[in-house]
Amino acid sequence: MKLLSCVLLICAGLAADEPAKPATGTTTAQTKKARAPLTIPADAVQISPGLYRWRDKDGKTWMYRNSPFSVTRWPEPADDTRHQTAINQTTAVEEGDSIRFERPTPFGTHAWVRKKTELDEIEQKIWARQQERAASRKAEKE
């Protein structure tokens, strides 16, 4: 076992003595000039812990997440896309003066109940879509 450890240490020492070779097709100057790590801009607005929103000079909005490993960046998705996905995946059922909403999630069905007078904008769209579907089904049966 000691012999194997010594051989490994010697091989590691020999490998460390060799100079690093640049990648094929790159110059030494390119390999020395490393890409600067991504950072969160100073004027970014924190949305939630570790999540930031920032608009560049061209008007494009970027989302930044600060993780233990690095900072990541991606373009902000359009609100219409997020809301439309939520609307399409959610069902609504009338329960007296309230409406019960259900949406599938990776962890099971998420359900909540709201009074008809307290619906937010998205819940109103979901309820209107559900009523249109019920009316079209009723018309098809007749």
Within a domain: 17: no
Same domain (yes/no): 136, 84: yes
- Has residue 9 got a pLDDT over 60? no
Phi and psi at residue 91, to the nearest 5°: -110, 155
Residue of 142, 137, 128, 41 lying closest to 90 (CA atoms): 128
Q: What is the pLDDT of residues 60-103, one digit of tens each?
A: 999 999 888 889 999 987 766 667 877 889 999 999 999 999 99
* pLDDT tens-digit map of 21-32: 555 655 555 555
Q: Do 22 and 28 touch, CB atoms closer than 8 A?
A: yes
Q: How many domains, in total, are found in the chain?
A: 2
Domain identity same for 84 and 132: yes
Shared domain for 86 and 111, answered yes or no, is: yes
- Find the domain containing 125 and state its range: 80-141
Q: Kindly state whether residue 60 falls inside one of the protein's structural domains.
A: yes
**Is residue 19 situated within a structural domain?**
no
What are the DSSP E strand ranges found in 67-107? 71-75, 91-95, 98-105
pTM: 0.46
Instruction: Kindly state whether residues 69 and 91 are assigned to the same domain.
Output: no
Cα(12)–Cα(118) distance, rounded to whole angstroms? 68
